Amino acid sequence: MIADNSAPTTREQCVALDRQDVLRPFRDEFALPAGVIYLDGNSLGARPRAAAARAAQVVELEWGEGLIRSWNTAGWFDLPRRLGNLLAPLIGAGPHEVVVTDTTSVNLFKVLAAALRVQGARAPARRVIVSERSNFPTDLYIAQGLADLLQQGYTLRLVDSPAGIDDAVRDDTAVLMLTHVNYKTGEMLDMTALTALAHERGALTVWDLAHSAGAVPVALRDAGADYAVGCTYKYLNGGPGAPAFLWVSPSLRDDFSQPLSGWWGHAAPFAMEPGYRPHAGVARFLCGTQPITSIAMVECGLAMFARADMAAVRAKSLALTDLFIALVETRCAGHPLELVTPREHHRRGSQVSLYHPDGYGIVQALIERGVIGDYREPGIARFGFTPLYTGYADVWDAVEILRDVLDSGCHREARFQIRGAVT
């Protein structure tokens, strides 16, 4: 491992970088606990200060005072589409192409089912869903659940690394289902090239943007992608378990209705007709009644991104991850740490994963000392870097604490147990 020579080599240089940082003012808009360096915004984003007032508004005024009237007067009915429009620019989508609703798992089921139906009409022999074995597990579970439900030869083909995708997408392949930035390694795939590869072979693409939206620039339309889902509670700071999002290419979205055909996706949701008629456009991917308090808070994070320059976010993300890698390699030299995340910028998301035989103990020891990252089997300490509220001095301090932990040997004492953070 070779350090990047352009990275700061003193804490003072880091403080100076923070002072010059155009994104620094956003930090004050977050409520961060004292004494914590939070490097787990890739699992659960920090709380925008505005979220507390928004939750109180929903609970006390909209629910408590407005009661049922708030469906109209407080705009509850429009939330999934209005928030979708706010989110769209962050993923290279147009207006009226995105909805915020349900969970990533449920949305993945909807778009996978829709994609298989499109293929069922176009090329019914295509019954294979190709994905990576290292994809986020719930994505694989959902694909398995759908294939098991459909039977009729639908199956999942998993490759061991992105290099295997080329060989795996064949004339039997209906869908290439990938996560853009891998949750464990932080590796970012080339959406444009892989979408083109899939299309050349007659397959459709489903992209999971859980670790991409708000973390790296995403250009769904420019990449020619077909379907995408993603998460609002990681880099978008929507709140714990906040509803997810879903995008469908305008060229595909009116082709079929998805099977979770609930009232919110009906062409006339208040007419109470006994027969389902899908709404035009992406609204047909809505299903049941959404958790209003949780979904309303999604706006607080999106409102910040509307004022942030995504190019500046990406530049700072790369600078922070470069700095972290460089400092780990210089300050923690001699310890058996291995960089899991790709070093090349174009292959790196907004996280750094390090392998260490005692990875679990290291993460526990860091958390005890106020540096919150998380652990993923086997041996991977995972650190997310969120440019809106993480600074260069935070990175310096985190690495110094990591060095202290490693030098002290206290990480060897942690008892291993699998239980913990999500995603």
Residue 263 in marked binding region: yes
The reply on whether position 379 binds a second copy by CB under 8 A is no
Positions of E strands within 32-172: 37-38, 47-48, 98-100, 128-132, 155-159
- Contacts (CB under 8 A) with a second copy, residues 178-197: 184
- Applying the rule CB under 8 A, the residues between 235 and 264 that interact with a second copy are 239-244, 257-263
Cα 137 to Cα 99, 114, 122, 362, distances in angstroms? 23, 21, 29, 24
Site map (CB under 8 A) of a second copy, residues 281-320, x = contact: ------xxxxxxxxx-x-----------------------
Query: Is 104 annotated as ligand-binding?
Result: yes
Candidates 2, 20, 251, 272: give the one binding a second copy (CB under 8 A).
272
Is 217 annotated in a binding site? The answer is no
Q: Which is nearer to a second copy, 16 or 421 (CB)?
A: 421
- Are 136 and 179 within 8 A, CB to CB? yes
Among 376, 382, 383, 394, the one annotated catalytic: 382
Choice among 30, 109, 136, 383 that is catalytic: 136
Closest CA relative to residue 184, chosen from 217, 139, 218, 146: 139
Question: CA angle 63-69-71, nearest 5°?
Answer: 80
- Considering only residues 96 to 125 of the shown chain, the ones binding a second copy according to CB under 8 A are 102-106, 109, 113
Per the residue annotation, which of 18, 40, 208, 374 is the catalytic one?
Answer: 208
CA distance 417 to 404: 23
136 labeled part of a ligand binding site: yes
CB of 5 to a second copy, least distance (A): 34
Q: Annotated binding residue at 160?
A: no
Active site residue 234: yes
For a second copy, the binding residues in 30-89 under the rule CB under 8 A are 31, 33, 36, 38, 40, 43-44, 46-47, 51-52, 55-56, 58-60, 62-65, 67-72, 76-77
By three-state DSSP, how is residue 123 classified? Answer: coil
Binding region for a second copy (CB under 8 A) out of 88-96, 145-153, 245-253, 356-364: 145-153
Q: Rounded distance, CA 75 to CA 90, Å?
A: 23
CA gap 55, 384 in Å, rounded:
26
Q: Least distance to a second copy from the beta carbon of 67, Å? A: 6
Say whether 266 sits in a helix, a strand or coil. strand
Instruction: State yes or no: is 382 an active-site residue.
Output: yes
155 is in an annotated binding site: no
Cβ proximity to a second copy: between 195 and 257 the closer is 257
317 closest CA partner among 329, 328, 307, 308: 308
Binder of a second copy out of 89, 145, 162, 250 (CB under 8 A): 145
The two tokens of residue 399 are: 């690495």
* 378 upstream amide cis, omega within 30 of 0: yes
Report the alpha-carbon distance of residue 100 to residue 293 in Å, rounded.
13
Nearest one of 92, 37, 393 to 219, comparing CA atoms: 92
Select 4 or 273, whichever has its Cβ closest to a second copy.
Answer: 273
Binding residue per annotation — 289?
yes
Q: Considering beta carbons, is residue 25 or 137 the nearer one to a second copy?
A: 137
How many Cβ atoms are within 10 Å of 32's Cβ, its own excluded? 16
Contact by Cβ (8 Å): 187, 347: yes
Residues that are catalytic: 136, 208, 233-234, 382
Q: Which residues are annotated as a binding site for pyridoxal 5'-phosphate?
A: 104-105, 136-139, 179, 208, 211, 233, 263, 289
